[in-house]
Amino acid sequence: MSSPATPAPTGTAASKPPLHSIDSAASASMAAAVAPAGSHDPVAPPIPALDPERRPALRKLALFGGTPVAVPTIQVVSVRMGDDEIDAVAAVLRSGRLAQGAVVKEFEAAFADQTGARHAIACSNGTTALQLVYQVLLKAGESAVTPGWTFIATASMIRARPARPIFGDVLEESFNLDLASVAPRLREDTRLLVPVHLYGNPADIDCIDAFAARRGLSVVYDAAQSHLATYRGRPIGAYGAATTYSFYPTKNMTTAEGGMVTTNDDGLADELRVVRDHGMRVRYLHETLGFNYRMTDIFAAIGLAQLRRLPQWTARRQENAAALTRRLAGVPGIATPTAEAHASHVYHLYTLRLDPATLGCDRDTFARALNAEGVATAVHYPRPLNRQPVFMADPEVDCAPLPVAERLAESVLSLPVHPHLGDAEVAAVAEAVLKVAEAVRAR
């Protein structure tokens, strides 16, 4: 699920609309986009417009001219490059050895050690990490199961094999794959189960591995957002046939661009390294179809510097998340993230679930109000995969309804949780959420 993890904020405290009502057109448009054709589900009652003339409590919001909670805006993402990264890159540049070499090998060894795996295979990005694994473990014409609630790369690289993605629904509280929705969708040609550890929250590995074993499926875990997460005290890179990671700049650590595959399978690791480098073991002797998906020593140098600080950054993300959860506990209409049982959540994202009926406004309006208070937000994701045009237009891909994923597309909202937030900024994020929630609920 390699991705630009955070879309641009939907607004800032510096941009306020005039004093007038805010309607729910955006929410209605999204509902129409994700509604299954021919659906006969009852239509939810419309959310009333935010009109400060009729609802005076709204006047305290910055959206309607009130004083914002935070200035300047607290951003969802903060990418930091320090002297360690700069010096490491400079050393590689001065060496003249820029392509994949000794620094990549050092980074691979360090990452394998941190993630509990015997092997780590660096590559050019998280999407190619997935493609490498599918190239080895999945034959053209077969099928693989993936959540319908994730970034598109998890599924699009299955289709690029070319194989057939099968979309499972997800569990509302954890956002992770719902195995009960998967079982009836399996095919005779299904070979892989590809759960995603979404937002930094590991999936239920025990249940997934048992489900796969009963059906003769291999498991590939997509951990693009879950660096250093653990399950039952073990790093998640030690589970499954393979685990893939992304180092896109907004992830919990970065190499500028890059990806990694971890595995405990010696044979698979060997095949992945060959496919990564044009199908070569010996230079200019190509034994299989391969790609140029190598990582450079420049990017690996950044990764090594970032990896050394990742434990500290992860602990700070967890502290920030815990503080937000304490402050937002029990707020009507707002559900805070919950970690999977036996797992350590590393909070790549702190994603709320909003109940528009309880709050009295839709998600997009709530986000605009938070932006005006000086808290940037993001939506991960505005559409589930079964409602993406590329798959809906593909006659070989089943885009049957995914009720939970389709609800999440209208209700999730990510708040700042990155490790560079100070205590006062975390408090301000929570204060803004409470302020907006109280105002929009008032009648």
Residue with tokens 């969708």: 185
Answer yes or no: are the C-beta atoms of 439 and 204 closer than 8 Å.
no
Q: Which residues in the chain land under pLDDT 50?
A: 3-42
Q: What is the pTM of this model?
A: 0.90
The reported pLDDT for the residue numbered 49 is: 75
Answer yes or no: are the C-beta atoms of 219 and 101 closer than 8 Å.
no
The reported pLDDT for the residue numbered 1 is: 64
Render pLDDT for 89-139 as a digit per residue (tens, 0 to 9).
999 999 999 999 999 999 999 999 999 999 999 999 999 999 999 999 999
The reported pLDDT for the residue numbered 37 is: 34
CA dist 58 to 54, 62, 269, 277, 415, Å? 9, 9, 58, 59, 21
Question: From CA 225, how far away is CA 253, in angstroms rounded?
Answer: 9
Question: From CA 306, how far away is CA 184, in angstroms rounded?
Answer: 43
The reported pLDDT for the residue numbered 48 is: 65
The reported pLDDT for the residue numbered 50 is: 87
CA dist 46 to 28, 356, 357, 409, Å? 9, 10, 9, 17
